Each structure stands twice: as structure tokens, then as C-alpha cells.
Amino acid sequence: MELLVLLLAAILDIFFSEPPLVIHPVFWFGKLISFLEKLKISNHIFDMIYGAFSTLAVVVFALTLALIPLPQPWCLLWHVYLLFSAVSIRSMIVHAERCVRDGVDREAVQQIVSRNTAELGEEQLCSAVIESVAENYVDGLVSPLFYFSIFGVAGAMVYKAVNTCDAMIGYRKGRYEYFGKFAAKLDDVLNFVPARISLIFFELLKRGALRYGIERNVKLNGCAIAAMSYILNVELEKPGYYLLPGRKANVSLVEEAIGAFKILSAIAVTFFAAVIAIRIVLLTHL
């Protein structure tokens, strides 16, 4: 059933991009962590403990959704819907294309990156879009499919719950510095292996991407950014943090990154479908 769930979820993503916001599990995760955050107090130690509790509460909610006992075919349909909500292929393509549809759209770029785009030049804006495409390849596809291939839809939903918490509260400075620390660290742990598996897929596009991604990794799980820089030969820069050498980023290179993302997405879906199929065969013959 898991193989069918994966294939149907991928088809839904390609055709429909995202579920409507109000019935999107990620939206529910965000609402829950936002509500819990309002109850924290200004005490560093308490905020760290309460932040861990809040993140785990969202994880338990995600598990509850995944483990709802339903008869067939409703169980199959529910799992397809949950995995569909956990992966982001078409939505990333749509967002990235919007950023460069009529030249570089600063406001559209701001919607997909956390850095202040008001301070960026056109090349840095294009770099930010390419970096976001590379990061989302791991966060929005490889990681959820990796955990789905091992633990089923429960694994994908737990990962997505943690990733959502990290996106909302996992900041190193400001109001979430202590409250979001557990979510940020847990997200780092969960992405560690999938981020490095993604380099195998980049290697299929250009020989040497795996080694470059490891050697020029810009942060703990930023090796996909380095690999994307390598296969496009594009300069990627986050001012004050890192600078990867290459051609100056421009609209054309953003479009190349989107094209690479499409191919990489097909590779990832095929790979994890094969992993699940092999696991099913092995279990059948044991």
C-alpha cells in the first residue's frame, strides 16, 4: 500500500500543488505551535523546556493524524492526502517561477526566504531563490520521502511537524532564541542523513557534485546548496555567512535551477519508490 500511497501523492502534488490552506496539516501544525508560543514566559530555561514540550506536542498531534484507525479504502485515501500535504514539488516550482516571471520580484523572493530582501541586489536576490530551491529539495521532498520509506506516513508527518516548528520558531536570535532551540536542533538531526542522500541525486546530474557538496557545505545541512552551486556553476551568497564561487546569479540561472529541481524531484520519487518496492519484496520472502 505504501508504494501506491507514494505514487498517488506525487501525482496529486504535480497536478494540484498544495491542499487548500484551511485543511492543510502544515497549517494546523503552524496554528498549534503559534498558540502554544503565546503561553511562554520570559525565562530562558523555562522557554527552552516549554519550547521542547510545545514541539513534541505538535509531533504527537502529527502522529495522531497519521494513526487514525480507518477502514479501507478510507485509510488509503487519508494516507495519500497526508503524504501529498507533506511533499512540495510543484509549489516550490510555482513560487520560484513567480520570483522571476517579470524580472526579479523582490516581494515574491521575500515570501520564500527569511533574509531581508530589501538589502539585496538583483544578483543576491537570484542567489536567494536558487538557494531556496536547493534547500526545499531536501526539506520539501527528500526528507519526508526518506522517513516515509522507513516509517510510513507517520514518519513523513512527524518530520513535517518538526520542520514546520523549525520554520516558525527555530531562530537563533530574537523572541524565539530559546523557545525554538529544541525544534531547530531536532530539525537538524532529522535532516542530516536525507541532506547527504540528496547529494547522490545531484551526482547523477553532474559528476563531482557529491564531493563538492560535502567539502563546500555552507552549514550543517546546507550541502544541497553547495551541490546546486556546483551543477549550475553559479555564485551563491548569503551576505555575512557564506559565498560559493561561480557565475553571477541571474534570472536565466534561476530558471536552470528550477529545471534541475524538476529532474531531481523525479529522481527522488523514483528512488524512494524503488526502496519501498525492494522492502516489500524482501518482507514478502522472509
DSSP per-residue letters across 215-257 = HT-SSTT-HHHHHHHHHHTB-EEETTTEEE-SBPP-HHHHHHH
pLDDT band at 284 (very low <50, low <70, confident <90, very high): confident
- Could you list the residue range(s) of the whole structural domain that residue 171 is in? 2-284
CA distance 233 to 211: 15
Residue 152: CB partners within 8 Å, gap ≥ 6? 2, 66, 79
Residue 145: CB partners within 8 Å, gap ≥ 6? 6, 87, 156, 268, 269, 272
Residue 91: predicted pLDDT = 95
CA distance 39 to 47: 10
Overall number of domains in the chain: 1
Sequence letter at residue 191: N
Residue 74: predicted pLDDT = 96
Residue 286 has pLDDT above 80, yes or no: no
Residue 200: predicted pLDDT = 97
Q: What is the mean pLDDT of the chain?
A: 94
Residue 40: predicted pLDDT = 78
Q: Which three cell numbers stand for residue 213?
A: 557538496
DSSP letter (8 states) at residue 38:
T
Residue 83 has pLDDT above 80, yes or no: yes
**Mean per-residue pLDDT for 47-61?**
96
Residues above pLDDT 70, as percent of the chain: 100
Residue 96: predicted pLDDT = 96
Q: What is the pLDDT of residues 243-283, one digit of tens each?
A: 999 999 999 999 999 999 999 999 999 999 999 999 888 88
Q: What is the pLDDT of residues 98-156, one digit of tens each?
A: 999 988 999 999 999 988 888 899 999 999 999 999 999 999 999 999 999 999 999 99
CA distance 1 to 243: 44
Is residue 200 within 8 Å of 213, Cβ to Cβ? Answer: no
Residue 170 dihedral angles phi and psi, to the nearest 5°: -85, 55
Residue 22: predicted pLDDT = 93
